[in-house]
Amino acid sequence: MENIDVKDVFRQLYGVPVEAIYKAPARINLIGEHIDYNGGLVFPSTIGIYTKCYFSKRNDREIHLCSLNKKKAVTRTLDDLTKNGNSWENYPIGAIWSLARNGFKIETGFNMLFTSEIPMGSGLSSSAAILDLTIYALACEYNFDIDKKLVSLIAWETENKYCGLSCGIMDQAIIALGKKNHAMLLDCYKYKYDYFPFDLGDYRLLVLKTNKPRALTDSKYNERVKECDIALDLIKENYRNANNLCEYKVSEMDKIKNALNNDTLYRRVLHVVSENQRVNNFKDALVKGDLELVGKLLNESHFSLKNNYEVTGTHLDTITELSRSQKGCLGARMTGAGFGGCAIAIVHKDNVEEFKKNVMKGYSNTLKIECEIFECEIPDGVCKE
Ligand code: GLA
């Protein structure tokens, strides 16, 4: 969607010109899956596909929202910020609700037109993008003193308290604070982060989109969060105290097994504790340039998410298996919440074209749907265009 067209659409829709444009990128997670809400380390990066919003202020108290992708427009007022079923408008309206809860009250209405290249339900975090985007845009337009870290925290609060997903902070953090050509190692317990240059030399990072519509993602996600909470309580009661599951070590798993006395909970915790260790190993391997090990850790992460955390499914398993069997592929894993969505793979630059051809063919032969495979740049986080 070219800027000039969208500006025209905006003028036709609202009868006034666009005053400002903001954009937020999508994200992938290199490693550290389903451990942000367990106080763990995660290693995400932004990717260069965007949700944008076109903005102008109004003199009344009306909020006019439109999604070009959904071809839906809604009008609300600042005096009614109630949730509307599962509608997309819950994200921008919820963002205004959270801003107000945090003392940032908007007193005049506005027009906002959204366009997005990030498909909803693709596992690339379209929801965190629209939340960070709305909060950042409103903070800039209404002169609120909100830095990007606070943008992410308010977005996280919206997702948890308004939208109803008990998610961790990873997506909101990376989309707000992402840095060009870097991945971010984020300690989700302390909310501390470091940037690492993401340079794979002769290798390329590919995003593999399964095109499997994600069913039940939110309820299954919340179920895993709950299982982890129950497990933590049991381990604290029957073994030793800790602030979160990621404070336990792999060497303690025997004791933890006894404390839990439940196979499902044991496998959930085994994933969490081992995944946190894998993130540390991944960081060391990346810094040393040991790409073979980087790839091996991606594979191990996927197997743990498949067998112990049980959040992969046929589509993600098939696409990553096909990837691993291709020449020049060092490793592949699901990325994000799972249950469909996207995977990532590291592939030698000379093999990328053949990799794409073979994986796409094998995938459609096996599952009778097409997948998409693309390379992405790593841009800065949310910003004004
Ligand atoms: C979703 C959530 C994140 C994180 C991932 C899994 O993307 O929004 O907080 O838990 O799943 O790692």
Cα distance between residue 302 and residue 208, in whole Å? 14
Confidence of residue 70 (pLDDT cuts 50, 70, 90): confident
pLDDT digits (tens, 9 = 90+) for 364-377: 999 999 999 999 89
Those residues with Cβ within 8 angstroms of residue 76's Cβ, 6 or more apart along the chain or in another chain: 62, 63, 65, 89, 93
Secondary structure E strands in 30-155: 41-42, 44-57, 62-67, 72-77, 110-116
Tokens of 166: 């008990």
Cα torsion through 222, 226, 229, 234, rounded to 10: -160
Pocket of ligand 1 (CB under 6 A): 29, 33-34, 36-37, 125, 167-168, 170-171, 336-337
Query: What tokens were used for 67?
Result: 């999604």
Local confidence band at 196 (pLDDT 50, 70, 90 cut-offs): very high
Ligand 1 centre distance from Cα of residue 257 (Å): 25
- pLDDT of 154 > 80? The answer is yes
Domain ranges of the chain: 6-198, 203-375
pLDDT per position as a tens digit, 319-347: 999 999 999 999 999 999 999 999 999 99
CB atoms within 10 A of CB 111: 23
pLDDT in tens, 12-24: 999 999 999 999 9
Region 35-54 average pLDDT? 98
Residue 177: Cβ-neighbour burial (10 angstroms; 0-12, 13-18, 19+): buried
**36 CA closest ligand 1 atom index:** 10
Q: How far apart, in whole angstroms, are the C-alpha atoms of residue 153 and residue 176?
A: 10
Instruction: Please determine, looking at this structure, whether the domain spanning 6-198 carries the CATH number 3.30.230.10.
Output: yes
| Per-residue pLDDT, 95 | 98
The correct answer on CATH 3.40.50.970 for the domain covering 203-375 is no
Question: pLDDT tens digits for 285-321?
Answer: 999 999 999 999 999 999 999 999 999 999 999 999 9
Question: Measured between alpha carbons, how far is 344 from 126 in angstroms, rounded to an integer?
Answer: 17
Q: Please tell me the distance from the alpha carbon of residue 365 to that of residue 121, in angstroms, as a whole number.
A: 23
Could you tell me the distance, in angstroms and rounded to a whole number, from the CA of residue 123 to the centre of ligand 1? 9
Given pLDDT bands bounded at 50, 70 and 90, which one contains residue 3? low
**Confidence bin at 217 (pLDDT 50/70/90):** low
Which residue bears the tokens 């995944």?
Answer: 275
Ligand 1 atom closest to 32 (CA): 12
**Could you tell me the end-to-end alpha-carbon distance of the chain, in angstroms, rounded to an integer?**
15
Mutate to test the pocket of ligand 1, among 159, 167, 304, 310 (most ligand atoms within 8 A of CB): 167
- The minimum-distance atom of ligand 1 relative to the CA of 337 is 11
Q: Give residue 125 CA to ligand 1 midpoint distance, Å.
A: 8
- Only one residue has tokens 């903070």, namely 139
| CA of 168 relative to ligand 1 center, distance in Å | 6
Instruction: Report, as residue numbers or ranges, the catalytic residues.
Output: 171
Q: Give 247's DSSP letter.
A: G
**How large a percentage of the chain has pLDDT more than 70?**
98
CA distance 86 to 102: 24
Judge whether 345 and 334 are in contact, CB under 8 Å: no
What are the tokens at 359?
């994986």
Helix axis angle, 126-141 relative to 170-177, nearest 10°? 50
Q: Whose CA is nearest to atom 8 of ligand 1?
A: 167
**Burial classification of residue 131, based on how many CB atoms lie within 10 Å of its CB (0-12 exposed, 13-18 middle, 19 or more buried):** buried
Sheet of 342-348, strand order: 329-335, 342-348, 203-209, 372-375
Region for residue 212 given its phi and psi (left: phi exceeds 0; alpha: psi -120 to 50; beta: otherwise): beta
